[in-house]
Amino acid sequence: MSESSMPQLNPEYFASQIFWLIFSFAILYIVMAKFALPKIANVIESREDVIARDLEDAENYKKDSEATELKYTNAIKEAQNKASETLAISRDKLNKQIEADKKTFDQESAELASKFIADLDIKKQKVLQDSEQIANVVAIDIINKILGTDALNQDNVKSSIKTMLKN
């Protein structure tokens, strides 16, 4: 040992080191190649499969949800359309109804008005006639009381009252 300060250059244990290197490395190689590495490869591969499958599932779920959403929005749109349609129809119906009602009301009221006017005319006529007679009687009575005579020409009085009432 004293001739070299580097134990690495001492050939005494070269054979031992090479032997144990080959021995341990051979065991390592056999265990790795036969058992460990295929196992690790298998685990990694199966995990990748699981991940790929999960991603595929997620993609499918996404598509499903998108389709459902589309369906849902379509349904809402349809419902809105239907609602506005119904609203328009009922509004039209109501408008028509209102118009028809208004028309009949106008007609009826016009009829009633003309009837009232006719009635009024008749009543007015009657009042006029009545007032003429009353005026005649009162005028004749007044003249009789004032003049004290029956010699009054009643027809003259009546015609003069008639002309007075007319004016």
Partner 1 sequence: MAAEKSGAPDPMHQFDIVELIDIELFGLNLSFTNSSLFMVFSVALIIFLTLFSFNGRATIPTRLQSIAELSYEFVAKMVRDNVGDEGQKYFPFIFCLFMFVLFCNMLGMIPYTFTVTSHIIVTFALAIVIFFGVTLIGFIMHGIKFFKFFVPSGVPKALLPLLVVIEVISYLTRPVSLSVRLFANMMAGHTMLKVFGFFVAGMFFSGNLFISPLGIAPLAFIVAFTGLEILVAFLQAYVFAILTCIYLNDSIHMH
What is the closest distance, in whole angstroms, from the C-beta atom of residue 71 to partner 1 in the complex? 35
User: Is residue 31 within the footprint of partner 1 (CB under 8 A)?
Assistant: yes
Q: Which stretch binds partner 1 (CB under 8 A): 1-9, 68-76, 108-116, 151-159?
A: 1-9
What is the closest distance, in whole angstroms, from the C-beta atom of residue 85 to partner 1 in the complex? 55
User: Is residue 163 within the footprint of partner 1 (CB under 8 A)?
Assistant: no
Closest of 143, 54, 146, 119 to residue 157, by C-alpha? 143
Give the per-residue contact string, 45-64, with partner 1 (x = CB under 8 A; - = no): -xx--x--------------
Q: Rounded to an integer, what distance in angstroms lies between the CA atom of residue 93 and that of residue 74?
A: 28
What is the closest distance, in whole angstroms, from the C-beta atom of residue 63 to partner 1 in the complex? 25
33 close to 39: Cβ distance less than 8 angstroms: no
1 close to 7: Cβ distance less than 8 angstroms: yes
Q: From the list 15, 151, 163, 166, which residue makes contact with partner 1 (rule: CB under 8 A)? A: 15
Closest of 139, 142, 143, 141 to residue 159, by C-alpha? 139
User: Is residue 70 within the footprint of partner 1 (CB under 8 A)?
Assistant: no
What is the closest distance, in whole angstroms, from the C-beta atom of residue 56 to partner 1 in the complex? 16
Q: How many Cβ atoms from other residues are within 10 Å of residue 139's Cβ?
A: 17
Q: Got the DSSP string for 100-158? A: HHHHHHHHHHHHHHHHHHHHHHHHHHHHHHHHHHHHHHHHHHHHHHHH--S---HHHHH
User: Is residue 7 within the footprint of partner 1 (CB under 8 A)?
Assistant: yes
User: Is residue 25 within the footprint of partner 1 (CB under 8 A)?
Assistant: yes
User: Is residue 24 within the footprint of partner 1 (CB under 8 A)?
Assistant: yes
Binding site for partner 1 (CB under 8 A): 1-2, 5-10, 12-22, 24-25, 27-29, 31-33, 35-37, 39-44, 46-47, 50
